Amino acid sequence: GAVVSQHPSWVICKSGTSVKIECRSLDFQATTMFWYRQFPKQSLMLMATSNEGSKATYEQGVEKDKFLINHASLTLSTLTVTSAHPEDSSFYICSARDLRGRGGNQPQHFGDGTRLSIL
């Protein structure tokens, strides 16, 4: 089946550090990947849609300069949290849309998530 690998799984760093999170589709190509944020005991909130070869589309309220997204290849998207602060501490999850599926809405496959803890 389709596998999405997310790295690292847990990051602890000092306030002011920039952190890069990688999302890779291992056995399929993904022109579109999605980045979500999940606070404790809450649901996933879409942050942005990452499009291969073009700019990401950000949801309302998400700072583009804070959360930099790069989708340089068909199997890799990165999210960089720039100058992270304690309020950025959260669980970040990526997903990739598998174009091999039938129908107009191909399923999304999720990574394991990255726990970001800013001290």
Partner 1 sequence: AQRVTQPEKLLSVFKGAPVELKCNYSYSGSPELFWYVQYSRQRLQLLLRHISRESIKGFTADLNKGETSFHLKKPFAQEEDSAMYYCALSGPNAGNMLTFGGGTRLMVKP
Smallest gap from residue 105 Cβ to partner 1 (A): 4
Q: Of 19 and 111, which CB lies nearer to partner 1 in the complex structure? A: 111
Smallest gap from residue 58 Cβ to partner 1 (A): 12
Pairing of strands 4-7, 19-25: antiparallel
Q: Of 4 and 118, which CB lies nearer to partner 1 in the complex structure? A: 4
114, 91 in Cβ contact below 8 A?
Answer: yes
Smallest gap from residue 84 Cβ to partner 1 (A): 23
Burial 15-48 (b: 16+ CB within 10 A, else e): eeeebebebbbeebebebbbbbbeeeeeeeeebb
30, 75 in Cβ contact below 8 A?
Answer: yes
Q: Of 9 and 18, which CB lies nearer to partner 1 in the complex structure? A: 9
List of residues contacting partner 1 (CB under 8 A): 32, 34, 42-46, 49, 57, 93, 95, 97, 103-113
Q: For residue 106, give the DSSP letter.
A: P
Peptide bond into 8 cis (omega under 30): yes
Smallest gap from residue 11 Cβ to partner 1 (A): 17
Q: Of 64 and 85, which CB lies nearer to partner 1 in the complex structure? A: 64
